[in-house]
C-alpha cells in the first residue's frame, strides 16, 4: 500500500509542480484546496503525512488531532515554520521538516522589484501611459546608488539581497546576531539595530518571525528611523505592528511601504476575493495610501523556486520513509 500524503492549501501550480517531480511509487499524493484548520484537519484521515504551507495552522490542538489520525510527519513546503507548535509536535512524536532554501534569489529579487516599483512608480506609469497620459508629474524617484539600505537578517535571502544592493552601489548596513564572513567580505558592516534605524533610507526585513522579532517594527522603533524611510517586508507579517506603520505613514515619517506579507494574511492571501466585501479594515486602510505597495506573498513564486520546493519536499518525505536522518528537520531545539 502506498504511503499517503495529504496536501493542504494547494493551488493548481502546486499540484502541477509536485506531480511533475513525483516518481516514487511508494507515495500517493492527495491534494486539498482547504487550509489546515480545526474544521479541516479530518481531511488528513488515512494519510501518514501532511504537507502544509505558510498559512496553515499547526497549533497544539491541531497537532494533537493529527496525532490521533496517526500522522507521523509534517512536511512544510516553505522555509518559515513560525506557524508550527514544535513543542506539541515533539510531544506527539510527529517529525517536522521544511524546505530551508529553495530560491533565496526569488525573494531577494522580489524585494528589489518592490523597492524599484515604489521608487520609480512603474505601476502608475503603466496605467498612465495606457490612458495616453504622458506626463511625468508625480513620478519623481531617486537614485538607489549611494543610498543607505539596512538589511535585518543576513541568512539565505538577506545575503543574496545584500549582493544585489552591492551591485547597485548602495551603502549597506547589516544587522544579525550571526555575522557572516561572506557578507563582511563585501565591506558590509554589522551594526546594532539602534544604529541602523537612524541611518537607513531603506530598511528591509529578512529575519524569521519568532517571539524575539514579533513587532520588531513598532511605534518606538519607527520613532528611531530617519524621516522619509522606505520600509520593505518580504519576510513575515508579524514582524510589523501594522497599526504603528499606518500612523507612521499618516505622519509622513514613513514615505514608502512595500509588503509581501501581512499579519492577517491567512484570511486573504492566495484567494480571489474580488467579488466579496473586505472585512479587514487595517489592510483596507493600507490600500488607500498612494505610497504603499502590497503583493500577496508572491516573493517565492518563481518557476525555479516551485521546482525546488517540490524536489526538496519529496526528498524530505523519502528520507522519512527510508528511515534516514531528516536533514531538513526542525525541532523545538534547533527551531
Q: Which residues bind ligand NAI (CB under 6 A)?
A: 79-80, 101, 104, 107, 152-158, 175-178, 206-209, 212-213, 234-236, 260-261, 297, 299-300
In the complex, residue closest to ligand NAI by CB: 155
Task: Give CA–CA dist 36/59, Å, rounded.
Answer: 10
Which entry of 21, 77, 98, 236 is annotated as an active-site residue? 236
CB of 89 within 8 A of CB of 63? yes
Residue placing its CB nearer to ligand NAI in the complex, 177 or 323: 177
Q: How far is the CB of 208 from ligand NAI (least distance, A)?
A: 3
Q: How far is the CB of 127 from ligand NAI (least distance, A)?
A: 25
Q: Is 156 a catalytic residue?
A: no
Residue placing its CB nearer to ligand NAI in the complex, 18 or 53: 53
CB of 144 within 8 A of CB of 196? no
Which entry of 297, 304, 318, 324 is annotated as an active-site residue? 297
Residue placing its CB nearer to ligand NAI in the complex, 68 or 182: 182
Alpha helices (runs of H) in the chain, residue ranges in sequence order? 12-21, 60-68, 86-91, 104-120, 122-130, 156-168, 181-184, 193-199, 219-224, 242-251, 281-286, 303-321
C-alpha cell at 171: 551603502
Residue placing its CB nearer to ligand NAI in the complex, 47 or 235: 235
- The Cα-based distances of 169 to 193, 234, 305 in angstroms read 22, 22, 27
Q: Is 265 a catalytic residue?
A: yes
Q: How far is the CB of 137 from ligand NAI (least distance, A)?
A: 33
Query: 291 phi and psi, to 5 degrees?
Result: -110, 25
Q: How far is the CB of 277 from ligand NAI (least distance, A)?
A: 27
Which entry of 123, 265, 285, 304 is annotated as an active-site residue? 265
- Contact residues for 187 (Cβ-Cβ < 8 A; gap 6+): none
Task: Point out the residues that are catalytic.
Answer: 236, 265, 297
Amino acid at each position: 500500500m502506498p504511503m499517503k500524503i495529504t496536501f493542504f492549501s494547494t493551488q493548481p501550480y502546486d499540484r502541477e509542480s509536485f506531480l511533475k517531480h513525483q516518481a516514487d511509487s511508494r507515495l500517493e499524493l492527495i491534494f486539498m484546496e482547504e487550509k489546515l484548520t480545526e474544521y479541516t484537519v479530518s481531511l488528513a484521515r488515512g494519510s501518514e503525512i501532511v504537507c502544509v504551507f505558510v498559512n496553515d495552522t499547526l497549533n497544539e490542538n491541531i497537532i494533537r488531532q493529527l496525532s490521533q489520525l496517526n500522522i507521523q510527519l509534517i512536511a512544510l513546503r516553505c522555509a518559515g515554520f513560525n506557524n508550527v507548535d514544535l513543542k506539541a509536535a515533539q510531544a506527539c512524536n510527529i517529525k517536522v521538516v521544511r524546505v530551508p532554501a529553495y530560491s533565496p534569489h526569488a525573494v531577494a529579487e522580489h524585494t528589489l522589484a518592490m523597492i524599484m516599483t515604489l521608487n520609480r512608480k512603474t505601476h502608475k506609469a503603466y496605467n498612465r501611459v495606457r490612458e495616453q497620459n504622458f506626463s511625468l508629474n508625480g513620478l519623481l524617484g531617486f537614485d538607489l546608488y549611494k543610498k543607505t539600505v539596512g538589511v535585518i537578517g543576513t541568512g539565505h535571502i538577506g545575503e543574496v539581497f545584500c549582493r544585489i544592493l552591492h551591485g547597485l552601489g548602495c551603502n549597506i548596513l547589516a544587522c544579525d546576531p550571526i555575522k557572516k564572513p561572506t557578507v563582511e567580505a563585501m565591506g558590509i558592516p554589522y551594526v546594532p539595530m539602534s544604529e541602523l534605524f537612524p541611518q537607513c533610507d531603506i530598511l528591509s526585513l529578512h529575519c524569521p518571525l519568532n517571539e524575539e522579532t514579533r513587532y520588531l517594527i513598532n511605534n518606538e522603533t519607527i520613532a528611531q528611523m530617519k524621516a522619509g524611510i522606505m520600509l520593505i517586508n518580504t519576510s513575515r507579517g508579524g514582524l510589523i505592528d501594522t497599526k504603528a506603520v499606518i500612523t507612521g505613514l499618516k505622519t509622513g515619517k514613513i514615505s514608502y511601504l512595500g509588503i509581501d506579507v501581512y499579519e492577517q494574511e491567512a484570511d486573504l492571501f492566495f484567494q480571489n476575493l474580488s467579488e466579496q466585501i473586505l472585512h479587514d479594515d487595517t489592510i483596507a486602510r493600507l490600500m488607500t495610501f498612494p505610497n504603499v505597495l502590497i503583493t500577496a506573498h508572491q516573493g517565492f513564486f518563481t518557476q525555479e523556486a516551485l521546482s525546488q520546493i517540490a524536489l526538496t519536499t519529496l526528498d524530505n518525505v523519502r528520507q522519512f520513509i527510508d528511515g534516514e536522518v531528516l536533514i531538513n528537520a526542525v525541532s523545538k531545539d534547533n527551531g
